[in-house]
Amino acid sequence: MKQFFDSIKLGLVSPVYLFYGNEPLLLDEAVNSLRRLLVPEGDDWNTEFFYGDSVSVDEVVNSASTAPFFSARRLIVVKNIPWLSSKNEDGKDDDLAPLLSYLESPSNDSCLVLTIRGPVDKRRKLVSAITKAGRVVEFVVPTGSQLNIWLERRFHRAGKKASGEVIHYLTLVAGENLAFLSMEVDKLCLYCSQKQDINIEDAKQVVSKSSLLSIFDMLDAVSARQGTLAVELYREMVHQGEAEQKILVMLAKQLRDMLAVQSMLDQGYRQGDIAKELGLHPYVAGKYLRMSRQFTRRELIGALEILLTADIANKSGEGELNALLEMAIMRICAF
User: Do 33 and 120 fall within a single domain?
Assistant: yes
Residues in the chain with pLDDT values less than 50: 90-92
Name the helix (H) or strand (E) containing 4: helix 2-9
Q: Which residues, listed in sequence order, are joined to residue 327 by a DSSP beta bridge?
A: none
- Percent helix, strand, coil in the chain (nearest 5)? 60, 10, 30
Q: Are residues 14 and 64 in the same domain?
A: yes
Are both 266 and 312 inside the same structural domain? yes
Are 9 and 126 in the same domain? Answer: yes
Q: CATH code at 304?
A: 1.20.272.10
Supply the DSSP symbol for 120: -
In this structure, are 179 and 78 located in the same domain?
A: no
What are the Cα distances from residue 250, in Å, to 261, 299, 317?
A: 16, 18, 22
Q: Report the C-alpha gap between 254 and 247 in whole angstroms.
A: 11
> d(Cα 282, Cα 200) in Å, to the nearest integer?
14
The answer to whether 69 touches 45, Cβ cutoff 8 Å, is yes
**51 beta partners:** 79
Are 103 and 132 contacting, i.e. CB atoms less than 8 angstroms apart?
A: yes
The pair phi, psi for residue 117, each rounded to 5°, is: -80, 140
Regarding whether 230 and 166 lie in a shared domain, the answer is: no
pLDDT value, residue 86 = 55
Its pTM surpasses 0.75: no
What is the C-alpha to C-alpha distance for residues 32 and 139, in angstroms, rounded to an integer? 14
Sign of CA dihedral 19, 20, 26, 27: positive
Distance in angstroms (rounded) separating the CA atoms of residues 137 and 2:
9
Residue 94 identity: D
- Sign of the Cα pseudo-torsion (269, 272, 276, 280, in order): positive
Distance CA 40, CA 47 (A): 10
Let me know whether 220 and 314 are in one domain.
yes
Contact yes or no for 100/129 (Cβ under 8 A): yes
Choose the final residue of a domain: 206, 225, 252. 206
Q: Are both 238 and 322 inside the same structural domain?
A: yes
Same domain, 84 and 102: yes
Structural domain total, the chain? 3
Q: Of 233, 235, 207, 237, which is closest to residue 222 (Cα–Cα)?
A: 233
DSSP state of 105: S
- Give bridge partners of residue 48 from the DSSP assignment: 76
Same domain assignment for residues 133 and 13: yes
- Dihedral (Cα; 250, 146, 31, 138), 10-degree rounding: -90
Per the structure, the complete domain to which residue 131 belongs is given by: 2-139
Please indicate, yes or no, whether residues 122 and 74 belong to a single structural domain of this protein.
Answer: yes
Q: Which of 124, 139, 154 is the last residue of a domain?
A: 139
Domain boundary at 139, 159, 190, which?
139
Between vectors from CA 255 to CA 253 and to CA 261, what angle results, nearest 5°?
105
Tell me 118's DSSP state: B
- CB–CB of 130/136 below 8 Å? yes
The whole-angstrom separation of Cα 209 and Cα 195 is 23
Residues 142/29, Cβ–Cβ less than 8 Å? no
Residues 231, 153 within the same domain: no
CATH code, domain with 128: 3.40.50.300
Burial grade of 325 (CB within 10 A; 0-12, 13-18, 19 or more): buried
